[in-house]
């Protein structure tokens, strides 16, 4: 009896195993139930791994980044938190689908579908990362309104390039021969570039000014024969306010290609001036003058004396050349120091009895008075008279 029951149970188990085997090997759309189960199990496992990364690993990374970041960085972090898991889900679905046997047409459609989502989310992530980098640059550098506008422009242009590449990538997978389309776009781009060549040059020059920073707002610059304070830096032009009060407008291309002097970055100013004394100044007094000038300059703050020499014999004076440095780039401070030095030199020269020479010319006139010779000539007698 026991043996009979054992045989019956074993028979039922065998029939159940055969039934399960038949179910697993049953095909739907050229794939067995077992293949579908492997596909589902692989996708569920990958989903669990992604959820773990999202809830544990990424959460810790985001927490660490937020502690070290500022408000601007939050543009990038929500984008990563939002789009990265979606991208990973799509990647998991694509890898899991490789287990199934799919027809070429369905595989092509599924590949395009997955590629479209992957490209979309990749472009979103890359755009957010580019914006994050520019915001970090804006945070580290002190930017004004015009520079902030340039950053906004750069972010938009970068995003445009990213989405253009993403669109071309999709089109290249949908259209078999994309070379004709790219050639047509290239010809159109060349025509537009030639039509707007001057504008494009000014815009690229603006970005050169923005990144290289040869001058900034408030800088005093000299361009050729023009000088003034930088008042506005625009996409196409830069405006200066001259000393006379009028506004000078330059194209950005002209400024980036010109030799420009920027006085705001000047740390110290080299000053060279000369003075002349009269020729009747005694030799011993002349030898004292360089030391007198040196002491006068060194007595002033924000100065560094370099040299003072008896330079040459002029037409009407004995010439001295003086060189010193003003330890600031401020022009008004320089003029105040130079004025004080001039007053002190005049005072000390007067005390020494040294006279400043000025252009003059002495004319020596020789007194050669001509001698007068008197010649006596006979005077004819008047008519009708006897002598």
pLDDT in tens, 81-139: 777 777 788 788 878 877 777 777 777 777 787 788 878 878 888 888 888 888 777 77
pLDDT given at position 291: 94
Q: Do 244 and 323 contact (CB within 8 A), yes or no?
A: no
21 and 129 share a domain? yes
Show which of 173, 188, 206 is a domain's final residue.
173
Q: Are residues 134 and 77 in the same domain?
A: yes
State residue 294's pLDDT score. 95
Distance from chain centroid for Cα 60: 35
Q: Give a yes or no: residue 359 inside a domain.
A: no
Assigned token pair, 59 = 């959460």
Q: Which residues of the chain carry a pLDDT beneath 50?
A: 5-6, 71-72, 374-375, 377, 379-387
Q: How many domains does the chain have?
A: 3
Which residues, listed in sequence order, are joined to residue 220 by a DSSP beta bridge? 229
| 381: Cα within 13 Å, side-chain hemisphere | 5
**Co-location of 238 and 168 in the same domain:** no
Could you tell me the two tokens for 57? 């690993």
The per-residue pLDDT for range 78-90, each reduced to its tens digit, is 767 777 777 788 7
Determine, yes or no, domain membership for 315.
yes
Same domain, 230 and 285: no
Same domain, 254 and 276: no
Cα separations in angstroms, 32 against 15, 102, 107, 187: 20, 12, 17, 52
290 near 274, Cβ under 8 Å?
Answer: no
Examine residue 290 and state whether it is found in any structural domain, yes or no.
yes
Q: Are residues 234 and 333 in the same domain?
A: no
Q: Give CA separation, 26 vs 22, 103, 237, in Å.
A: 6, 18, 74
Domain boundary among 228, 247, 262: 262
Separation CA 34–CA 19 (nearest Å): 13
82 and 33, same structural domain? Answer: yes
358 occurs within a structural domain: no
What region does 224 belong to: left with phi over 0, alpha with psi -120 to 50, or beta? left
Residues 165, 105 within the same domain: yes
Residues 144 and 31 in one domain: yes
Q: Which of 354, 339, 341, 332 lies closest to 300, judged by CA?
A: 341
3-state secondary structure 13-54: HHHHHHHHHHHHCCEECCEEHHHHHHHHHHHHHHHHHHHHHH
pLDDT at res. 161: 86
Angle subtended by helix axes 76-97 and 33-52, to nearest 10? 160
For 219, the domain range is 198-262
79: which residues sit within 8 A by CB, 6+ positions away? 124, 125, 127, 128
pLDDT given at position 107: 72
For residue 193, what pLDDT is reported?
58
pTM of the model: 0.49
One domain for residues 25 and 160: yes
């Amino acid at each position: 009896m026991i043996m009979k029951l054992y045989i019956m149970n074993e028979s039922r188990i065998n029939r159940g195993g055969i039934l399960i085997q038949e179910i697993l090997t049953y095909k739907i759309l050229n794939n067995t139930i077992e293949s579908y189960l492997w596909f589902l199990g692989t996708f569920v496992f990958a989903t669990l791994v992604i959820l773990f990364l999202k809830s544990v690993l990424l959460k810790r990374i985001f927490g660490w980044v937020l502690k070290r970041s500022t408000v601007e960085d939050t543009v990038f972090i929500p984008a990563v938190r939002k789009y990265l898991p979606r991208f990973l889900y799509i990647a998991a679905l694509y890898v899991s689908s490789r287990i199934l046997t799919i027809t070429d047409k369905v595989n092509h459609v599924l590949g395009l579908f997955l590629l479209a989502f992957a490209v979309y989310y990749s472009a979103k992530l890359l755009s957010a990362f580019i914006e994050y980098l520019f915001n970090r640059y804006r945070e580290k550098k002190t930017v004004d309104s015009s520079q902030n506008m340039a950053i906004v422009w750069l972010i938009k242009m970068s995003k445009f390039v990213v989405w253009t590449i993403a669109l071309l990538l999709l089109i290249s997978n949908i259209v078999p021969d994309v070379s004709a389309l790219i050639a047509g776009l290239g010809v159109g781009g060349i025509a537009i570039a030639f039509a707007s060549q001057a504008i494009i040059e000014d815009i690229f020059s603006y970005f050169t000014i923005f990144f290289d920073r040869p001058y900034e707002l408030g800088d005093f610059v000299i361009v050729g024969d023009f000088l003034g304070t930088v008042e506005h830096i625009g996409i196409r032009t830069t405006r200066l306010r001259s000393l006379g009060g009028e506004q000078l407008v330059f194209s950005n291309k002209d400024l980036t290609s010109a030799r420009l002097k920027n006085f705001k970055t000047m740390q110290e100013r080299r000053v060279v001036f000369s003075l002349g004394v009269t020729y009747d100044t005694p030799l011993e007094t002349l030898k004292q003058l360089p030391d007198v000038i040196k002491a006068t300059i060194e007595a002033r703050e924000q100065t560094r004396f370099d040299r003072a020499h008896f330079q040459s014999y002029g037409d009407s004076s004995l010439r001295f050349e003086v060189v010193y440095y003003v330890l600031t780039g401020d022009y008004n401070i320089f003029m105040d120091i130079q004025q004080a030095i001039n007053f002190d030199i005049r005072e000390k020269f007067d005390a020494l009895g040294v006279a400043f020479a000025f252009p003059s010319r002495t004319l020596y006139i020789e007194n050669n008075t001509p001698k007068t010779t008197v010649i006596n000539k006979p005077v004819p007698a008047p008519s009708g008279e006897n002598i």
